[in-house]
Chain A
Amino acid sequence: MVFSSHIFIFYFLPLFLLIYYLLPFQWRGIYMKNNWITIASYLFYGWLEPWFVILMLLSTTWDYYCGKVITTPGQVQWKRKAALITAIVADMALLVFFKYYMFTMENLDQILQLLGLGPQYLPIMQVVLPSGISFYTFVALSYTIDLYRGDAKPARNIQTFSCFIGLFPHLIAGPIIRYQTVADQLAERDHTLEKFASGVAIFALGFGKKILLANPAGEVARAVFYANDPGMLNAWWGILAYHFQIYFDFCGYSDMAVGLARMIGIEFIKNFDAPYLSNNITVFWRKWHISLSSFIRDYLYIPLGGNRKGVGRTYFNLALAFFLCGVWHGAKLTFVVWGIYQGVFLIFERLTGKNSVLNKIPFIVQIIITNIIVMFGWVMFNSPSIGHAFMYWGSMVGAVKASSGATHLTAEIFQSRHVFEMVLCGVVAFCGVQAHDFIKKLTVPRMTFSLVILVLAILAMFTQTYNPFLYFQF
C-alpha cells in the first residue's frame, strides 16, 4: 500500500487507528497493540504483492532465531559466530537474488553475445523485486549484528520482533531503524494527545511534500529525461525538477513515516536535515538519508577500519562504502557510477581538507556549488543508462545540440503551473525550516497550516495520476 493513496488515507489508516486505540492500554495491552501493528503491517505489505508477505515472514523468523542463538547465555563463541554468519548470508542472499539476479544474468548474456559465444539468450527467470526488501533486510541485519556486538538486547519474543521488522510506517522506504532505538518503546510507550497531534502535523506536512511538491516536479523531470536531446535550458530545468522531486518524495515519505509512528506513540529518528543547504558533499551526506549513511558508517566503513588505518586505507574504505551505497540502490550500472561519483567527491574533500579553495568562497556560493554537484550526480542516478546520462550531461553543458522538438518540450515544461510549482519547491527546499523543527512547538497557526496542507494535498491527490514513491523501487 502507498501512504499517498486513497485506500491508505481513508480506509487503512482510520481502521488501523480505531482498532489500535480500542485495544486496552493496561495489563498486557501494549503487546496486543504490537500484535495488531504486525497484522496491519502484513496487510499493508501484502497489498502490494500478497505473496511477498511469506518471504518477509520467513526472513523475520530466520533472523529472530539466529538472534536467539547469538544471545543464549553461555553460548559458545563459534556458535554465536555461525549464527551471525548464517543470518547475514541468508539476508544478503535474499537481497542479492531478488535485486541482482536478473541484472547479472542479463549482463552475462550480453557479454557472451559480445564474445560471439552464440546468438541464443540465456534462459533468464523473471524475478519481481519485492518492495522495500533493501530496507527490511538492512533493518534485520542491524539487529543480528548489534546482538552479536552486544549493542542491543534480544527481542522479547517473535511477536515483538515481527512487529519491529514489519512496522508499516518504516517498512517499505525507511528510515532504516535500529532495534535498540525502538526496543524500549515496543515494551512501553506513551500515548499522549500532544504526541498524536505532532504526528498528525508531521504526517500532513510529509503528505503535502509528496503530493504538492514532489509529484508536480516529477512530471517535469519525467518529460525532460525521456526527451530526445532536450537542449541546455530544458536539461537544467529537468534536473532541477528531479532535484526537488527526489528530495520531497523521499523526505515526504520519511516525514509521513515519522508522523504515523508518533500517532501510535513510537519515535523514529529524522532521516533528512535540510540537505540542500549543505556547503559540501561531506555535509550533504550527513543530512541526506541519515539512516542509510549512518548504517553504512556503522556496519561497513568503521568495521573496515574507517580512518584509523592510514590515509590510503581511509580513501579505499570511503570509495568502497559509497560504491556499495550505489549498488544498494539497485542493479544498474548507473547506480554504481553514481556511488563512485559520490565517493570521489568525498575523497577529494578529505584530501583538500579545510585548506580547500572552496572553503574560502562565500557560503552561499558553496551551497550553490554543492547543489550543482549533487544535481550532476542525480543525472546519473535517474538515467536509464550510462550513455543517456552522458547525453544529458552533454545537454547541460551545451555540448549536445538541442533537437528540433526541444522547443515543444520547453512549451510543455514551462507552463505557468510548472513554473509556480518549481518556485514553490525552491522556497521550501531552501528555506531551512524542517518539518521536525516546525512541529516542535505546535501552535494553533501551525496546526491550521498543517490541516490546510493536508486538505490541499488530499484534493490534489484526487486529480493526480502520477503518484509513485521513488524509493519504492529500492
Chain B
Amino acid sequence: MKKSTALIFIIIFLMMIFSVPVVQAIVEFKNDGTVQIVELFHDVSVEPLKRAETINKYSNEITSDIDTIKSLIGTGGSGTLDSSKVSIIAELLDNSKNNTMELIKSCNTINRYVYADKKDKRLLAAKQTLAEITELNKELEKGTLLQGKFVKGISSVETDINQLKKAFPEINTLQMPLVIIKNVFSLFWDSRYIRPYEKKIENASVFATGARPVMSFFRYWLFNDLGDKGIYGKNGFFFYRPDVQYTYKPYISSLQNYANPFSNVVDPELLKTNEFPVKKIAEFRDQLKEKGIDLLVTIVPGKPSIYSEYLSKDNSEKFESPSMRFIKELDSAGVSVVDLFTPFLNEKKNDLDTEDLLYLRKDTHWKARGAWLAASTVAEQIKKYPWYQDGTFEYVIDTVEVMREGDVAQMSTLPNMKINELRCHFPAEKTKCYQISKVSRDENGEITGKVLYKDDYKNSQILLLGDSFSRIYQTDEPRSAGWISHLAYDLKQPLATIVNDGGASTIVREILARKNYLLKNKKLVVWEFVERDIRYGENGWKSISLNGEPNSEMPE
C-alpha cells in the first residue's frame, strides 16, 4: 500500500467523522445561536442553579404569605375565624396555592431531561404543601374552619416550606463555583441525564434527519418496505405492524406462567406490566356495578383479523384471532361483551356485492360500513337490557364522501417523497360516510331544524369510552359520521363519550376518574377498544379508582 493512498483513505475517513459534528454545530449556531453539544454543560450546571433559585424565591413568597396569615389569625382557639379576615386570608391562600404549584413544577424538573424521582423528599414536601393549602382553602370556603385547626394547618405548611428552603438555600457568588462543580458531578454522572441527552443529539442531527426519509424512500422503492410501523400487504393493503404482531404473539394470559423457568410461553414485552386485562375489566365492571351501572365491552377486530388473506396466503378460513379466547375469558368472568368478529367475518362475504370494504386499505381503521355494522351489533345488545327504552330523538342520515389518507401510509413517512424522477405517492382513499343529524319538527311534522349529532353528557343514559375507532369520522372529517353517531341513531338518543387515541385500556378510565360526575344518570358504560390494545394499550391495564374527587365541573 502506498503511503499517499493510505493518507487519502484516512483523510476521507476523518472528513466523514469530523464533518458531521462540525456541520451540526454550524447549523445549530446559525439557527438559534446555541450548540447542542455545549449545552450539556449548561444543562448540568446553570439549569440546576436556576431551579434552586426559583424554588427559593417561591418558598420565600409562600413564607411571607404564611406570616401575614399568622399575624391575622393570632395564636388559635376553639372559635371560628373572624369573618372580616376570611376574605383576606382566602386571597393569601390562593396566592400561596399558585406559588406552590410553581414550586412543584420547579421541584419536579431538574433540567430539560431529568425529572425528580417521584419519591423525592423535596417534591413530596411541595406536594404535601399544596394538599394542605387546598384543604385549608376548602374549609375556609365552607366557613367551618376552627381557628385552632387553622393554626395547626398553617404551621404544618410552614414546616414543609422550611424543609424546602433548607434543601435549596440561597447561594452567594462565592459558593456558586462549588455548587456548579457539585451539580456537574451529581448530574453528569447520572444515566438518567445521559440517555435522553444522547437521544436528543441523535434526533437533532441534520444528517440523520436528512438521511432518514431518503433511506425509507429507497427501502420502499426497492423492497416495498414500509418501515417500523407498517407491513405491505396484497392488493394495496397496508397493515399496522402492532395489529399484525398481536395476532401471532403468545396469548396475553399465558404470561401468568412466566415465573416458571420451564414455561414454554415467554414474552419480554409483557414483562413490563403484570396487569391482566380480564382482571382489570372485571374490576371496572364491579366498580360500575356498585354505582348501579352496567358495563358492555366491545372489542374491535384489527384489520389483520378480518382481512387475513390480504396479508398472507389465504388463511382466512383457519385464522382465528386470539381475541376470541379473550372474549370467552371475559364471558367466564361474567363481563358482558359484544362479539364483533363473527358479524364482521360474515359481512366481509358481501364485499364483492357491495363493492366496498369494511376497512380502509392504507389505514388501521374501519370504513363507514364497518362502523355501521359495529354500531348496529352493539345497539342490538344494548336493547336487551331490561332498563332500556328507545330515546325520543329523531335522527336522519346523509351520505357524504370523504378522502382519507391512510394512517399507515402517513406513519411510513413516505408520502410526498420525491427524488428526481422517483416518487412515492399514496393517493387518498375515497370513502362513503353516513352523517347523522338531529332534526326538529313543528306541530305539522315539517322539519324546522337540522343539526349535526352532538353528545349529551348530562342527560344521556349511556357513556361510551373509546379509542381512535370512536374518533374516526366522528370528530374527524366529515364529523358526526362515526360509530358513535350510528349508535345514537340506532338507539334514538345521544351518548356521552370519552375518546382517547390508543388510550382505551387505561387513559379513558383515568379521564373518567377525574370526571366521575359523568357517571351521573348513567345506566350503561360501553367500553370500546381495538383488539391490539389488549397487548399494546397505552399505559397498560391499570387499576383506576372511580371514587376520587372530580377535578372539574360537569360541562354545560
Contact = CB atoms under 8 A, between A and B. Distances in A.
Nearest to B19: A10
A326 to B, nearest CB: 15
B78 interface: no
Contacts of B20: 9-10
B320 A194 contact: no
Contacts of A388: 263-266
B359 to A, nearest CB: 15
A408 interface: yes
A47 B241 CA distance: 33
A193 B219 contact: no
Given A405-B319, A408-B304, A459 B211 contact: yes
Contact of B191 (A10, A50, A403, A460): A50
B17 A407 contact: no
Given A7-B201, A227-B248, A462 B207 contact: yes
Contacts of B189: 46, 50-51
B201 A385 contact: no
Contact of A10 (B3, B21, B225): B21
A455 B241 CA distance: 29
Contacts of A387: 260-265
Contact of B10 (A197, A386, A412): A197
A160 B228 CA distance: 46
Contacts of B233: 411
B249 interface: yes
Interface string A174-214: 00000000000000000001101100110010000000000
A412 B244 CA distance: 8
Interface string B4-35: 01110110111011101100100000000000
Interface of A: 5-7, 9-11, 13-14, 17, 46-51, 107, 110, 193-194, 196-197, 200-201, 204, 223, 226-228, 230, 333, 383-388, 390-391, 403-412, 415-417, 420, 441-444, 447, 451, 454-455, 458-460, 462-463, 465
A417 B244 CA distance: 18
Contacts of A462: 205, 207-208, 211-212, 215
Given A50-B194, A228-B249, A442-B1, A451 B9 contact: yes
What does DSSP make chain B's interface, helix, strand, loop or mixed? helix
A384 B265 CA distance: 9
A420 B260 CA distance: 38
Contact of B225 (A17, A230, A417, A451): A417
A63 B288 CA distance: 64
Contact of B37 (A11, A408, A417, A441): A11
Contacts of B227: 463
Nearest to B246: A405
14 contacts: A7-B201, A11-B37, A46-B189, A193-B3, A194-B1, A228-B265, A387-B260, A387-B262, A407-B312, A411-B231, A411-B233, A412-B231, A415-B225, A451-B12
Contacts of B264: 385, 387-388, 390-391
Contacts of A6: 198, 201-202, 205, 208
Given A6-B202, A417-B223, A197 B9 contact: yes
Chain A interface main SS type: helix
Nearest to B21: A10
Contacts of A47: 194, 198
A11 B200 CA distance: 14
Nearest to A10: B20
B219 A417 contact: yes
B223 A420 contact: yes
Nearest to A414: B312
Contact of B7 (A193, A223, A386): A193
Contacts of A386: 261-262
B408 to A, nearest CB: 14
Contacts of A443: 1
Interface string B219-235: 10011110110011100
B314 to A, nearest CB: 9
Contacts, number: 185
B9 A200 contact: yes
B250 interface: yes
B1 A408 contact: no
Contact of A228 (B5, B17, B251, B262): B251
B269 interface: yes
Contacts of B24: 10
Contacts of B5: 197, 444, 447
B17 to A, nearest CB: 5
Interface string B171-198: 0000000000000000011110010001
B322 interface: yes
A388 B223 CA distance: 32
B6 A9 contact: no
User: Which 4 A-B pairs give the minimum distances between C-beta atoms?
Assistant: A405-B248, A50-B189, A417-B223, A391-B264
A204 B227 CA distance: 25
A50 B216 CA distance: 35
B318 interface: yes
Contact of B248 (A390, A406, A451): A406
Given A387-B264, A415-B223, A463-B212, A408 B312 contact: yes
A405 B247 contact: yes
A460 B215 contact: yes
B308 A407 contact: yes
A193 B248 contact: no
Given A384-B266, A404-B320, A411-B231, A226 B249 contact: yes
A444 B12 CA distance: 13
A226 B268 contact: yes
A254 B311 CA distance: 39
Contacts of A447: 5, 9
Contact of A193 (B10, B224, B269): B10
A418 B535 CA distance: 25
A200 B15 CA distance: 13
Nearest to B318: A404
B313 interface: yes
B263 A14 contact: no
Given A384-B268, A411-B312, A417-B225, A50 B190 contact: yes
A465 B267 CA distance: 19
B250 A228 contact: yes
A463 B212 CA distance: 5
Contacts of A454: 13, 16
Contacts of A465: 228
A381 to B, nearest CB: 14
B259 interface: yes
Contacts of A460: 215
B315 interface: yes
B232 to A, nearest CB: 7
Q: Pick from B205, B216, B315 the residue with the most CB of A within 10 Å.
A: B315
A254 to B, nearest CB: 20
A384 to B, nearest CB: 4
Contacts of B244: 408, 411-412
A438 to B, nearest CB: 13
A403 B262 contact: no
A184 to B, nearest CB: 24
B320 to A, nearest CB: 5
A193 B21 CA distance: 24
Contact of A110 (B201, B254, B259): B259
A386 B260 CA distance: 10
Contacts of B201: 6-7, 11
A69 to B, nearest CB: 32
Q: Which among B232, B249, B311 has the greatest number of chain A C-beta atoms within 10 A?
A: B249
Contacts of A384: 266, 268
Contacts of A223: 245
Most chain-A CB neighbours within 10 Å: which of B24, B190, B202?
B202
Given A197-B9, A387-B260, A408-B311, A226 B319 contact: no
Nearest to A9: B17
| B188, B194, B250, B264 — most chain A CB neighbours (10 Å) | B264
A197 B322 CA distance: 55
Contacts of A46: 189
